[in-house]
Chain A
Amino acid sequence: ATVDGDGKTGNWVNRLPIPGLGAENVFRLISSATGSPIGQFISSPVTFLHSVDPRIKLVWLLTLVVLPARANLVVRLGLVLCTALLSILVLPRQVWIDQLARVSLLSGILFITLGLGSDGAPPMLQSRTPPSSITSLPNLPMSLSGYSYMLLKLGPLQFTRKGLSVGSTAACLTFIIFQSASICLATTTPEQLALALRWFLFPLTYIGVPVSEIILTLLLSLRFINLVFDEVRSVSLGIVSRRVNWQQLTVLETLDIFASFIRRIFKNIFRHAEQISQAMIVRGFRGESSSHKIYFFSGSSNKFADFASVLCLIGVISTALLSEYFLV
């Protein structure tokens, strides 16, 4: 590592000269990527959402997937606003700024592309309303109430009511799903989520579904995914630090390095998996999820927080249902 003038260790990877070739940049990007996956549990500060029962949180998540797809535009926007406000209230400042910026950007791109693209190339012939040049009939009169299908025209692109509907649905759905999942993951430990999932899946054990195995696999996956991130980062860092002269390499040789990169990652991941399975055996796991108890210490669930959460859930669902009658 390099040492700055003030004695701090700098990120030396970013200081290596860039030859300006794609492969180098790709590996550099991977190696400098964060080792922590998005949406990890934040243990402090403890908020009221930390004390809500994880089962209620899962119901909330399901509701927030279904509602924006079916609800009115106003309700969708309301849900987006509420989710954003909740993020600001619950998450630490740096986290919510980073998350809201990313999700807003993604949703914005979706809204613009789908809004302009859904009716961007209108067909010459409409099956139900053929143009007057074909039928030799006068044009249909414009709506007396000022209704216009086309909302905005930007050169060859047009923003129609269909575009607005498709774009807003996709953008709102994306924003709400990503952000509500982030809030849930930030305030719930993986074990609490697994516990809640096990509670919902438990009835399936009567028809032979291996619920214990599913839950153990989920927990191991949640642990293993971090090792995969670390491994990918480490191997790409190893390639960057070797100062490969990419400009001298042919396309096939570059592809060969990429292939060896992927091969190395898989080899290391399988080695990790082998070692972890050995550790599990040493720690008493004998291969049967049903006979090895997994302990979940779900944090103390606050009854008031649970009640308030359920009440809000009923309120949101009722508003969405009523909006279908009053805001059409």
Chain B
Amino acid sequence: MNGHCLFAASPPRLFPLRSISSSVSPSGSYRIKFSDNVAVECRNLCFSVSTRQGISVPILRDCSFRIPSGQLWMILGPNGCGKSTLLKILAGVVNPSSGTVFVEKPKNFVFQNPDHQVVMPTVEADVAFGLGKYHDMNQEEVKSRVIKALEAVGMRDYMQRPIQTLSGGQKQRIAIAGALAEACKVLLLDELTTFLDESDQMGVIKAVKDLINAKKGDVTALWVTHRLEELKYADGAVYMENGRVVRHGDAATISDFIKAKQSSYIDQIGS
């Protein structure tokens, strides 16, 4: 469990950032390197888009948080608060307007809709797709990694199944297996349970949790959701509103914070 429980999000006073060496990558995104046990860290992260009229619309405002290695953290918040955008910035799919980002490598991003993530027609070929970039890997090693990844998500018996015959939850597990096969250190998971029923929802989240426990500190997962009941599986959480990180800390405290907000809102409606 993270040592610090709850922080008000008012960076840069929020937490001291040690051993930072920031640099700008050729793509323009900022990177920070840390020597301590941190898997993901953002500092003063901002992202905005321009409308056709040239007006700048802020999506993320001054977001800062830190996620220790080997834990499952969740990002929660209402629709449109910038959760998915934040995750895409962490994945490197979108470049931030300003601020600094550190994500341990290798990292992998799993999309909300598994139909977007799974690109090959059969399970085994899809899980192996991400390994295609490693030219020094032989067929046997690839196969071994694919089998291990599928075992980790409980889909070992589905190796030769066509993707279209799988349920939404099974596709989601295949998408996660594809990320695991690359032996990534950080898993960035975008609302994986949105299209799933309760059984598949719990199956997927337990698969991720079991994996993190099995890897003993090697794998960190950042899970975007707006389902409060999933928070019980998390070690920590980040709560966002209007593009800002409002709170971040251990799961129980964030859960209490959200419940207090809900009660306050219900009271407000009732009065």
Contacts and interface: CB of A to CB of B under 8 A. Distances in A.
B119 A299 contact: no
Contacts, number: 104
Contact of A293 (B108, B113, B135): B135
Nearest to A192: B122
Given A191-B120, A223-B118, A282 B164 contact: no
A226 B163 contact: yes
B115 A284 contact: no
B122 A41 contact: yes
A297 B121 contact: no
Nearest to B122: A189
A190 interface: yes
A202 interface: no
B165 A284 contact: no
Of A43, A285, A299, most buried by chain B (CB within 10 Å of CB) is A43
Contacts of A291: 135
A276 B119 contact: yes
A36 interface: yes
Interface stretch (B22-30, B68-76, B124-132): B124-132
Nearest to A193: B121
Interface string B148-175: 0000000000011111110000000000
Contact of A295 (B113, B115, B128, B178): B128
A220 interface: yes
B226 interface: no
B117 interface: yes
A201 interface: no
A32 interface: no
A190 B125 CA distance: 10
Interface in A270-328: 272, 275-276, 278-286, 291-297, 299
A295 B121 contact: no
B119 A295 contact: no
Contacts of B135: 291, 293
Contacts of A283: 108, 119, 129-130, 178
A100 interface: no
Of A230, A279, A286, most buried by chain B (CB within 10 Å of CB) is A279
Contacts of B108: 282-283
Nearest to B115: A227
B143 A222 contact: no
A219 interface: yes
A-B pairs, top 10 by smallest CB distance, nearest first, are A284-B133, A275-B116, A295-B128, A190-B121, A226-B164, A293-B132, A283-B130, A292-B132, A222-B121, A191-B125
19 contacts: A37-B164, A190-B121, A191-B120, A219-B120, A223-B120, A275-B113, A279-B117, A283-B108, A284-B182, A285-B129, A285-B132, A286-B133, A295-B125, A295-B129, A296-B125, A297-B125, A297-B139, A297-B159, A299-B160
Interface of B: 91-93, 108-109, 111, 113, 115-122, 124-125, 128-133, 135, 139, 142-143, 146, 159-165, 178, 182
Interface of A: 35-37, 40-41, 43, 189-191, 219-220, 222-223, 226-227, 230, 272, 275-276, 278-286, 291-297, 299
